[in-house]
Chain A
Amino acid sequence: MAEPGPLDRRRFVLRGLALAASPLLAGCDRLSEARWIARLLQAGEGLTHRVQRTLTRRRALAREFPESARSAVFPGNGTTDPGTEAYQALAAAGFADWRLEVRGLVERPARLSLVELRRLPARTQVTRHDCVEGWSAIAKWTGVRLGALLDAAGVRPEARYVVIRCADTMDGSGEPYYESLDLEDAYHEQTILAYEMNDRALPVAQGAPLRLRVERQLGYKMAKYVTAVELVAGFGHIARGRGGYWEDRGYEWYAGI
């Protein structure tokens, strides 16, 4: 047998270190699965939410960039094509038959076409999209202000959250994507349902024909392939009850950090 080379020795040392640390790490992994730890750590989210909202100007706008700051490539994360027959049929017709449903705790439920949406007060903004994974990309978005849409539908006083329903299911889980935001974020000036990205109709990879933009939160909040805007008093009855597809899988409902 040959003498162990430096690489083997390095590997040996690394393996030794890993072995020595493994009981400690296994302990930490067990902690991560303990329910009381999860509950304790979740307290951090409530604290962050309260402190960020209390200490900052509630209507502060996310920074808007010059058009020259836009990313050449904007990653399409999560679903990049819902792939269902119904969706493909809609896409093939340029979403002429697609409708956005406004429902739940509203005075005037509605079903709106893209043409009708384009008649509502719109906003254009060049903003930075921050993914929970760590990357950032900048694009120009144009869409209807969610606040204007809600005013047109008449929000009933008992409504507290806006649930965004989507056409896509993630990872073959069969569970449709959805998100929720409170009325404060829904009425924020930069919160829009975007039908255009970089001066063109929203591409399929970015959620055609309509995606949510909530500029002061992370990317997973900005649901794509939107089919309905639903006003609710609470979201505990929806899916696993945590207010969103990723929230149901352990991510924070308050995605401002």
Chain B
Amino acid sequence: MTDGPASRTWLYRHTAATRLSHWITVLCLLVLAPSGLQIFNAHPTLYWGERSDAEHAVLALRAVTTNDDEIRGVTEVWGHRVDTTGLLGASTEDGERVARGFPAWATLPGSQWLAMGRRWHLFFAWVFVLNALAFGLYAILSRHLTRDLLPGGRDLAGLGASLRDHLRLRFPSGEPRYNVLQKMAYVSVVVVLGPLVVLTGLAMSPWADAALPLLPALFGGRQSARTVHFALTFALIGFTIMHVFMVTVTGIANNLHSIITGWARVHHHGSRDG
């Protein structure tokens, strides 16, 4: 039996485990990011160290009332103030401008409801962690991590060329394997950002801090951990935006097809295992 010419252009790119884990992660991030902002809104100020001393705020989203009784949003970064009315500090909720860190459209639930935000966040944190553990175990045991994700010597040698191509917006599409920048992006999420966002989240738990004093100390204190957790959120949002952009420009139909069914159409290079 020989394969027909058409079948040879299809590659089984993503295993069922990878696809399932990918979509569970999508669901988790869709819940965790806005519910996290809801929790942040209960005290929209970030600090460094163990304590939240008002005079040592790193970032603060404040609301101020002007002489004309207007509520305005002010964002303070290391003492520098920017008017961010409508977006940060003060925004419209149910037709009225109210003091709130992030606007209603960015939080879950939309209105100020800390208890419900925590319920969403702490439940999906479990889904995220269990999914990540399962995927991590799978990636190690199936050698997905070493074979497909960790960049090897040959990958790194081509880093400069790949970087140049990407900067010229010349993207490889339909390649059978991940390119070096793709590998580095995925590995940084799976090995660095993901674990760090979980650890900084856990470092805010007083129970976990008592059991593992090293945990908050690792980040310079509970308030630092909170600040890093917040920054990592935006790093993950940044990755997601970049990821969706790359998925779109390198052939959205084929990419979506492969992350849903597993099968991607690939260019033919002669030997299958390049």
Report if A257-B42 is in contact (Cβ < 8 Å); known contacts: A62-B209, A136-B50.
no
Report if A215-B105 is in contact (Cβ < 8 Å); known contacts: A133-B114, A136-B52, A136-B222.
no
Of A17, A28, A246, the most chain B CB neighbours within 10 A belong to: A28
Whether A43 contacts B123 by the Cβ 8 Å rule is: yes
Residue of B nearest to A134 (CB): B43
Which chain A residues in 62-102 approach chain B with CB under 8 Å? 62-63, 65, 69, 71-73
- In addition to A52-B208, A249-B115, A256-B205, 20 A-B residue pairs with Cβ atoms within 8 Å of each other are A18-B103, A32-B116, A40-B123, A44-B124, A48-B126, A56-B208, A56-B212, A60-B211, A63-B213, A65-B50, A69-B51, A128-B51, A128-B222, A132-B114, A136-B222, A136-B223, A138-B50, A250-B116, A250-B119, A252-B119
A112 contacts B by Cβ under 8 Å: no
Whether B209 contacts A32 by the Cβ 8 Å rule is: no
Report if A217-B204 is in contact (Cβ < 8 Å); known contacts: A14-B86, A136-B50.
no
Provide the residues of chain A in CB contact with B42, threshold 8 Å.
132-134
A42 contacts B by Cβ under 8 Å: yes
B239 contacts A by Cβ under 8 Å: no
A131-B119 Cα distance, complex, nearest whole Å: 16
Of B119, B122, B222, B223, the most chain A CB neighbours within 10 A belong to: B119
A237 contacts B by Cβ under 8 Å: no
The size class of the interface chain A forms with chain B is 35 or more
Provide the residues of chain B in CB contact with A52, threshold 8 Å.
205, 207-208, 211
Whether A32 contacts B223 by the Cβ 8 Å rule is: no
Whether B110 contacts A28 by the Cβ 8 Å rule is: yes
A170 contacts B by Cβ under 8 Å: no
B74 contacts A by Cβ under 8 Å: no
Whether B119 contacts A38 by the Cβ 8 Å rule is: yes
Provide the residues of chain A in CB contact with B126, threshold 8 Å.
44, 47-48
Distance of A68 from chain B, by nearest CB (Å): 12
Distance of A205 from chain B, by nearest CB (Å): 16
Whether B87 contacts A42 by the Cβ 8 Å rule is: no
Which chain A residues in 12-63 approach chain B with CB under 8 Å? 14, 17-18, 21-22, 25-26, 28-29, 32, 38, 40-45, 47-48, 52, 55-57, 60-63
Distance of B54 from chain A, by nearest CB (Å): 7
Provide the residues of chain B in CB contact with A41, threshold 8 Å.
119-120, 122-123
B53 contacts A by Cβ under 8 Å: yes
10 closest residue pairs by CB, A with B: A256-B207, A56-B211, A44-B123, A250-B115, A134-B43, A135-B52, A257-B205, A133-B42, A41-B119, A133-B43
Whether A63 contacts B209 by the Cβ 8 Å rule is: yes
Whether A62 contacts B122 by the Cβ 8 Å rule is: no
A184-B42 Cα distance, complex, nearest whole Å: 30
B104 contacts A by Cβ under 8 Å: yes
Provide the residues of chain B in CB contact with A42, threshold 8 Å.
119
Whether A21 contacts B211 by the Cβ 8 Å rule is: no
The size class of the interface chain B forms with chain A is 35 or more
A182 contacts B by Cβ under 8 Å: no
Distance of A194 from chain B, by nearest CB (Å): 17
Q: A residues touching B (Cβ–Cβ < 8 Å)? A: 11, 14, 17-18, 21-22, 25-26, 28-29, 32, 38, 40-45, 47-48, 52, 55-57, 60-63, 65, 69, 71-73, 128, 130-138, 215-218, 246, 249-252, 256-257
A32-B113 Cα distance, complex, nearest whole Å: 10
Distance of B16 from chain A, by nearest CB (Å): 25
Report if A28-B108 is in contact (Cβ < 8 Å); known contacts: A133-B114, A136-B52, A250-B116.
yes
Provide the residues of chain A in CB contact with B116, threshold 8 Å.
32, 250
Report if A137-B51 is in contact (Cβ < 8 Å); known contacts: A29-B109, A61-B210, A63-B210.
yes
B183 contacts A by Cβ under 8 Å: no
B9 contacts A by Cβ under 8 Å: no
A249-B115 Cα distance, complex, nearest whole Å: 8
Select one of B86, B105, B123, B223 contacting A25, CB under 8 A.
B105
Of B45, B208, B212, the most chain A CB neighbours within 10 A belong to: B208
B250 contacts A by Cβ under 8 Å: no
B172 contacts A by Cβ under 8 Å: no
Whether A29 contacts B110 by the Cβ 8 Å rule is: yes
Provide the residues of chain B in CB contact with A131, threshold 8 Å.
43
Provide the residues of chain B in CB contact with A56, threshold 8 Å.
207-208, 210-212
